[in-house]
Structure 1
Amino acid sequence: MRPIHLSRSLFVLACLGAFAPAHADTVIDNANGYTLNSKNELVRFASLAFDDKGRIIAVGGANEVAAKAKNARHIDVQGKTVLPGLIDAHGHVFGLGEMLTQLDLSTSAKLADAVKAAGDYARANPGQAWLRGGGWNQEIWKLGRFPTAAELDGAVKDRPIWLARVDGHAGWGNSRVLQLAGITKDTPDPVGGKIVRDANGNPTGVLIDSAQDLVTRVMPKQTEAEARRVLDRSLQQIAKMGLTSVHDAGIDAGNDRLYRDYADNKKLTTRVYGMIGDVGKDFDELSKKGPLKTYANDVYALRAVKLYSDGALGSRGAALIEPYSDEPKSHGLLFRKSPDIYGLMEKAMRKGYQVNVHAIGDAGNRQILDGYKKLVGGTATGPLRHRMEHAQVVTMEDIARFKEIGIVPSMQPTHATSDMNMAEDRVGPKRIKGAYAWRTFLKQGSKIACGSDFPVESPNPFYGIHAAVTRQDASGKPAGGWYANEAMTLKEAFRCFTLDAAYAGQQENSLGSLETGKWADFIVIDQDLFKMPAKDIHKTVVLQTWVGGQQVFGAK
């Protein structure tokens, strides 16, 4: 494979991973280009031109485009495939950066691996007062239970170590953590949370959902320098993955200040559509002037709110209407009573914000659908395209209500292939029919906004497209796909990571496709996405990433 030619200036830019000023119109030549248009048609193109402000001025054949950009510089991509930049409609930018700078347990195959990694990390970081990390999954370890503080004490006893579960809805700490947080046999479970206990009622070291707040409130606060390092690492990884826009699902005032600063200084190398986490003190501060629809040439927006209905399926925190099939005494957890969560939703709506609520279990989804039904009309906020984040396990009758009320299902395809080892155990053969039900949603006309929920899953969007199309993991299991009747076509999966993700952020007129007048957000990849075997989609490698006509990543 011949390397793509880059000018010296572009090579330097790729290495820096930052914006540089554009000077003239630019034409991308000799492209094997694909984009959707506003009619949902898959369009081919050979050339793409954009102006010095990063707006597309022509897309099509070489001669046609050259005629509209006569004095442009030309970049030959030598027949490589060019696609619109991909959009992750649900990620956690700072969480990704933290995972990249802390202990990562996502590859630990068994409990012993995780314990050893914790000990190694502690020895390698003697100056850290608190040791942090995450990514563990007791389902992969085949424990049949959660890990314990005593097991973690075997690796780290002198300092607190706190490790988030892969979904972020549970945390595992050693005995020092429990001591510092003041968690004892007499500590009550907080509303919306659970302290996992042994047969004698003693805390075992794992805290679920809001119970984690007992620990996080005694942790040292992150410094701005640390936050900047975290954001830098995350942005580098995001650009490498070919993501040109991310919907950040839950930010605070400090995150907002950094985003604006990075945007002002042309360091924000992906577009960020921000969701304010909850409607408390930070919301009151950030919403004084109302939603921020666009900032710094559409690099940043802050016009949504993120709320939570329930927990996650893996930790049995997702709220179910009927008990868990594998734990008949538990229904999971609704975080708030309906009047309370509806009050929060209405507060955000009255201020003009899109409301995006995390709901995984069928009870969680039903509670929030009832709230949307009650509130959307009265607040006249239907045009804001309120969303359900995850919409993971939904009754068949409630799926229809998404379309009726006008709620966007914001879903993560890799959740299905990550959860298939336990999901049916949790909910049984009947409820699983409404779980990860992409085809059912699409058939009724819902637009699915696809994402990954990184760092819960990899931020690589080609993993998501692969999962959406095959319903299989990277090893090709299970044969034929897991409940393959709910799979997407390749075109649908491509759309849910482009135009429909942009639609969910109210940005489809400027992002999501390569059309005249839109931003020149695009990627160059090593394979033809629309001709390669579906089983190999996850192997796709991004060679270049461009945002607003400026290259922010180039493979070495």
Structure 2
Amino acid sequence: MSIFINGNIITLDNNKIAQAFKVRADKFEAVGTSEEVLTLKEHDEEIIDLKGKTVVPGFNDSHMHFLNYAVFKSRVNLSNITSIDEMIETTKNYIKENNIKKGEWIISRGWNHNYFTDGRLPNRYDLDKISTDNPIFFSRVCGHIGVANSEALEASGITNNTDNPDGGVIDKENTVPTGILRENAMNFIFDKIPAMTKEDIKKVLKSAFTDALKYGLTTIHSEDLGTAGDLNNLIEAYKELDSENSLPLRFVLQLNLMNKKALEETKSLGLKSGEVSHMLKIGVMKLYQDGSLGGRTAAMEEPYSDVESHGVTIYDQRELDELVLGSQEAGFQIAIHAIGDRAMHMILNSYEKLQAAYPNTDLRPIIIHCQFTNKKLLERFKALKVIPNVQPSFVMTDWPIVEKAVGKERAEESYNWKEMLDLGLKVSFSSDAPIESFNPLYGVYAAVTRKSLKGDPKQGWYSNQNLTIEEALKCFTLGSAYMNFEESLKGSIEKGKLADFAVLSENILEVDKDFIKNIKILNTYVGGKKSY
């Protein structure tokens, strides 16, 4: 039991500001003024003086790839390179410094050709300059395009005669693969990479927990299956960490179940959406319906302005319908990745059929990303009670390329989070890390300013869509809790809810909005216990 006094507590409970709260076990028992809460003090109960510091509910990142982040911490870092030559030199140094042996796979992620001096995608011939003795595969930052060297193409069986898989593209020039693989074509590579062992997963996760806690995160919804490579190993690793009391923050596992076979495997393991313990839950079944803006694989109704393409759809409508209905039958809440408007229309068609099949069920279906919306789409979201799971930090890196990709008219209707809230949609915020930083204060900053971390554009990008600070905080707390059917347990500081909270270095409601990105987390508490 503990009592916290003399704070500036942003409860997010009807925008009430409190000064104190009492924690019993792992929940808030009382919230109010310091004088009110001190009257509840029990013998030898600890009193913690917040000394006027600001407290907010623990941040709840409702979609990221935490294991992927943890794994790539130890691999060659491509996130800040500005040219293909730098990619080559950086990787050569990595091989030398880490004594990488001949034949070992070299895998990484994070390059962004929009930042390259020549602006082009790397290809097999560029990566062959690094090594022809090691298979190399580097995913773009978005995870929807990758490039393989000649050794990796050979190891994965990609030749001049290899056809495009469903939902994927093997780039070729004069019938010869360039090494650039899009969407499902990357599975040729992934199928050859050994799955992580349970012990490897546990070790890697442990190395990254503090990274999340120092940003005030108390719940993470993580999609890790693509990185782990084995569903059973992934689930058992998390369950063992939980049983060993080694999870210092709460996890919700989002399962990327790409086909009926994967769905059947979850049945054999007895998995479905629901609580494993108060620290671990099985969350949504996650599908992908299109790609990314940067790779021009997001599926659009109208073609891109700068390339002759409508993007890529992963499933046709029949396949998507079958997977959505099959997943609900298997006991899973459903979330589907979609960036382009065509992909979202197809998903909403499936969700319409899902609602008709389960008319009296609180389904809370989700679309993750929702970048290229329009009024017609958002009205369908509202009618079907679909939850937009959006990443406000995307605007910081995307804004310079959006109008080039789709033109000004479509850009004006995109990344429209304010319009979503004004329509009454239940919006949830996330980071999609490691694509963007999982620092939620970066996300709040992006939502309220619509600027990059450098402060561009000066007036904000389509600032009519700016959120208030309170709205952004709620999307990162209450919105994420609602998405996961946990609004009665998380998201605000009020009696009966889990005592998950963060102490900030500044009063986020009073600082200049451009300063929000510089606010630090002083302490993070999970269940009333200081975890950072």
TM range (shorter): over 0.9
Looking at structure 2, the residues matched to 65 and 293 of structure 1 have their Cα atoms a distance apart, in angstroms, of: 34
* C-alpha distance 361-382 of structure 1, shift in aligned 2 (>3 A): farther
What residue ranges of structure 1 are gaps of 5+ in the alignment?
1-24
What residue ranges of structure 2 are gaps of 5+ in the alignment?
226-230
Looking at structure 2, the residues matched to 121 and 442 of structure 1 have their Cα atoms a distance apart, in angstroms, of: 46
Q: Does 1:105 align with 2:86?
A: no
SS at match of 2:310: coil
TM-score normalised over the length of structure 1 = 0.91
Could you tell me which residue of structure 2 aligns to residue 18 of structure 1? none
Match for 1:490: what amino acid? I
Cα offsets for 1:228-275 (capped at 9, x unmatched): 222112322111211101112354332221221111111112211222
Q: Does 1:319 align with 2:295?
A: no
Shift of 1:225: 2.7
Q: Does 1:69 align with 2:60?
A: no
Write out aligned runs for 1:243-392 (5 A): 243-249=217-223, 251=225, 252-278=231-257, 280-287=260-267, 289=270, 291-296=272-277, 298-328=278-308, 330-380=309-359, 382-392=361-371
Shift of 1:381: 6.5
Could you tell me which residue of structure 1 aligns to residue 205 of structure 2? 231
Instruction: Provide the identity percentage.
Output: 32
SS at match of 2:400: coil
Write out aligned runs for 1:452-463 (5 A): 452-463=431-442
Match for 1:93: what amino acid? F
Among 475, 480, 484, the residue aligned to 2:454: 475
Cα offsets for 1:39-96 (capped at 9, x unmatched): xx22212222111x21111112112112223231122232222111001111112111
Aligned length: 522
Looking at structure 2, the residues matched to 484 and 30 of structure 1 have their Cα atoms a distance apart, in angstroms, of: 36
Cα RMSD (Å) of the superposition?
A: 1.6
Looking at structure 2, the residues matched to 121 and 226 of structure 1 have their Cα atoms a distance apart, in angstroms, of: 21
Cα offsets for 1:343-375 (capped at 9, x unmatched): 000011123321101111111001001111122
Shift of 1:422: 1.3
Looking at structure 1, the residues matched to 80 and 190 of structure 2 have their Cα atoms a distance apart, in angstroms, of: 25
Could you tell me which residue of structure 1 aligns to residue 124 of structure 2? 149
Match for 2:97: what amino acid? A
Could you tell me which residue of structure 2 aligns to residue 415 of structure 1? 394
Write out aligned runs for 1:83-122 (5 A): 83-122=56-95
Among 474, 477, 482, the residue aligned to 1:498: 477
Shift of 1:322: 1.4
Could you tell me which residue of structure 1 aligns to residue 228 of structure 2? none
Tell me, yes or no, if the aligned pair for 1:250 and 1:305 is still in contact at 8 Å. no
Match for 2:275: what amino acid? T
Looking at structure 1, the residues matched to 375 and 135 of structure 2 have their Cα atoms a distance apart, in angstroms, of: 45
Tell me, yes or no, if the aligned pair for 1:514 and 1:520 is still in contact at 8 Å. yes
Shift of 1:219: 1.5
Shift of 1:446: 0.6
Tell me, yes or no, if the aligned pair for 2:395 and 2:452 is still in contact at 8 Å. no
Cα offsets for 1:465-523 (capped at 9, x unmatched): 00000000011100110111112111110110010111011111001111111111011
Match for 2:154: what amino acid? Q
Looking at structure 2, the residues matched to 143 and 217 of structure 1 have their Cα atoms a distance apart, in angstroms, of: 32
Could you tell me which residue of structure 2 aligns to residue 31 of structure 1? 7
Looking at structure 2, the residues matched to 42 and 373 of structure 1 have their Cα atoms a distance apart, in angstroms, of: 35
Tell me, yes or no, if the aligned pair for 2:273 and 2:331 is still in contact at 8 Å. no
Range with bigger deviation, 451-460 or 246-255: 246-255
SS at match of 1:156: coil
Could you tell me which residue of structure 1 aligns to residue 165 of structure 2? 190
Range with bigger deviation, 400-409 or 346-355: 346-355
Q: Does 1:59 align with 2:31?
A: yes
Looking at structure 2, the residues matched to 483 and 176 of structure 1 have their Cα atoms a distance apart, in angstroms, of: 45
SS at match of 1:121: helix
- Structure 1 segments of 4+ aligned residues over 6 angstroms from their partners: none
SS at match of 1:383: coil
SS at match of 1:476: coil
Range with bigger deviation, 179-188 or 440-449: 179-188
Tell me, yes or no, if the aligned pair for 1:350 and 1:379 is still in contact at 8 Å. no
SS at match of 2:39: helix
Looking at structure 1, the residues matched to 338 and 119 of structure 2 have their Cα atoms a distance apart, in angstroms, of: 25
Match for 1:439: what amino acid? K
Tell me, yes or no, if the aligned pair for 1:250 and 1:306 is still in contact at 8 Å. no
SS at match of 1:370: helix
Tell me, yes or no, if the aligned pair for 1:274 and 1:304 is still in contact at 8 Å. yes
SS at match of 2:407: helix
Looking at structure 2, the residues matched to 501 and 86 of structure 1 have their Cα atoms a distance apart, in angstroms, of: 9
Tell me, yes or no, if the aligned pair for 2:504 and 2:520 is still in contact at 8 Å. yes
Looking at structure 1, the residues matched to 510 and 121 of structure 2 have their Cα atoms a distance apart, in angstroms, of: 44
Cα offsets for 1:404-456 (capped at 9, x unmatched): 11100000001122111212211112222221111111111112100000111
Tell me, yes or no, if the aligned pair for 2:137 and 2:147 is still in contact at 8 Å. yes
Shift of 1:299: 1.1
Could you tell me which residue of structure 2 aligns to residue 204 of structure 1? 178
Looking at structure 2, the residues matched to 417 and 303 of structure 1 have their Cα atoms a distance apart, in angstroms, of: 28
Shift of 1:125: 1.8
Match for 2:461: what amino acid? W
Shift of 1:293: 2.2
Shift of 1:339: 0.4
SS at match of 1:420: helix
Shift of 1:292: 4.5
Range with bigger deviation, 173-182 or 460-469: 173-182
